[in-house]
């Protein structure tokens, strides 16, 4: 059984992520196969629209399958992860700039790499089960796959809050934050897909989006996350004493200090273009294995699952501006380029 089903039906090209047992986590081969299909369909007159979907009831895509990369890196092989990220980011940009409409159906978990796969396209549909999040700081990474670009465009300080805490967005939140476009009840999705296949026209009926708890909390978030450093943000959360502040503080204390400081630097003020974001993110992820906390973060959260990572910085106060700058410095011959 293929990890990604690629087919043409009627006027549509359809990509179905097919690893439901792994919550449709992206592998390197999935990214390569998806890119090849998308490039072939650009000049295919039979394909008017592209549909992205995930198999199984639980997830559109839970992220990138990073365990293999971390295990290889533990043995000193950094190329597996670096090659995966290079090709994944190229796919992300292709999806965002695709010349034909792409409709993604974002049910269940849509996290990390799943946001890069389905959250950058022209028409992003969410339903009742949608839960969107960027949890990378908890595994010693930064919100990549264009995450820094998306998060920097969320109103106020909510993007920084989402990137630092891995807070999950329901459908109303995802639309308010700019991670999705349309709310359509999931019971209506089969009929909508059939219409797209038959007509090739992405005429999405508009339903009223659910309310956004995130929007309702935006004034509080702006107040608590406006400081110019992670230690200062944590001090503000500690002083606040609310349940919301306590929950956010607990999330920050779990994360890699280097990842959080870097995320702050990358989101504020944010990259000018998606391509710029991906290039900057690649510099960071390229170094994440030998100079960052990626190997330890994946070990603690996904391999040994002891939830007790030993980060290279014991506290957020230990991370310097020079530490962050070193992670984001140009890579010379190894730089990520759009047309690789």
Catalytic residue chosen out of the listed positions 13, 113, 118, 119: 113
Selecting among 64, 108, 116, 127, the annotated active-site residue is 64
Per-residue pLDDT of the chain (340 residues; tens, 9 = 90+): 799 999 999 999 999 999 999 999 999 999 999 999 999 999 999 999 999 999 999 999 999 989 999 999 999 999 999 999 999 999 999 999 999 999 999 999 999 999 999 999 999 999 999 999 999 999 999 999 999 999 999 999 999 999 999 999 999 999 999 999 999 999 999 999 999 999 999 878 778 889 999 999 999 999 999 999 999 999 999 999 899 999 999 999 999 999 999 999 999 989 999 999 999 999 999 999 999 999 999 999 999 999 999 999 999 999 999 999 999 999 999 999 887 6
The pLDDT of residue 35: 98
> What's the pLDDT score for residue 340?
64
Q: Which of 60, 251, 246, 92 is nearest to 160 (CA)?
A: 251
* Alpha carbon distance 296, 337 (integer Å): 28
What pLDDT was estimated at residue 313? 97
* pLDDT of res. 339: 75
Residue 289 in contact with residue 281, Cβ under 8 Å?
no
Whether the predicted model's global pTM rises above the 0.75 cut: yes
Residue 203 region, left (φ>0) first, then alpha (ψ -120 to 50), else beta? beta
Contact 200, 209 (CB under 8 A): no
Integer Cα distance of 228 and 241 in angstroms: 20
- Catalytic residue selected from 136, 157, 281, 296: 136
* Active-site residue (options: 144, 173, 293, 296): 144
Q: Which domains does the chain have, with CATH numbers?
A: 1-327 (3.90.226.10)
Residue 202's pLDDT is 86
Active site residue 144: yes
Helix (H) or strand (E) holding 173: helix 171-176
Would residue 77 show up in a list of annotated catalytic residues for this protein? no
Q: Does the annotation mark 128 as catalytic?
A: no
Cα 79-84-88 angle, rounded to 5 deg: 150
- CA 205 vs CA 106, 183, 191, 271: distances in Å: 16, 9, 11, 33
Assess whether 296 carries a catalytic annotation: no
């Amino acid at each position: 059984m293929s990890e990604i089903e690629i087919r043409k039906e009627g006027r549509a090209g359809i990509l179905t992520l097919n690893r439901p047992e792994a919550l449709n986590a992206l592998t390197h081969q999935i990214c390569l196969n998806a890119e090849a299909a998308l490039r072939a369909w650009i000049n295919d007159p039979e394909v008017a629209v592209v549909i992205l979907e995930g198999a199984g009831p639980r997830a559109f895509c839970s992220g990138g399958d990073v365990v293999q990369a971390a295990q290889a890196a533990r043995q000193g092989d950094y190329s597996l992860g670096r090659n995966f990220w290079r090709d994944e980011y190229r796919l992300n940009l292709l999806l965002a700039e695709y010349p034909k409409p792409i409709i993604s159906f974002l049910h269940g978990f849509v996290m990390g790499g799943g946001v890069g796969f389905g959250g950058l396209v022209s028409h992003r549909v969410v339903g009742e089960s949608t839960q969107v999040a960027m949890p990378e700081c908890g595994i010693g990474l930064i919100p990549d796959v264009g995450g820094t670009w998306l998060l920097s465009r969320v109103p106020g300080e909510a993007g920084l809050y989402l990137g630092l805490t891995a807070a999950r967005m329901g459908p109303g939140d995802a639309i308010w934050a700019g991670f999705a476009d349309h709310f359509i009840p999931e019971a209506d999705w089969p009929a909508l897909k059939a219409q797209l296949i038959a007509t090739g026209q992405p005429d999405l009926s508009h339903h009223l989006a659910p309310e956004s708890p995130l929007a309702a909390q935006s004034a509080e978030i702006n107040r608590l996350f406006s400081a110019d450093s992670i230690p200062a943000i944590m001090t503000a959360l500690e002083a606040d004493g609310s349940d919301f502040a306590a929950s956010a503080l607990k999330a920050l204390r779990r994360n890699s200090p280097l990842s959080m400081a870097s995320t702050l630097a990358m989101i504020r003020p944010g990259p000018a273009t998606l391509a710029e974001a991906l290039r900057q993110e690649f510099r960071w992820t390229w170094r994440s294995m030998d100079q960052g906390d990626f190997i330890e973060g994946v070990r603690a959260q996904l391999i040994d699952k002891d939830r007790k990572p030993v980060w290279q910085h014991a506290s957020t106060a230990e991370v310097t501006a020079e530490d962050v700058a070193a992670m984001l410095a140009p890579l010379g011959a190894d730089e990520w380029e759009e047309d690789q």
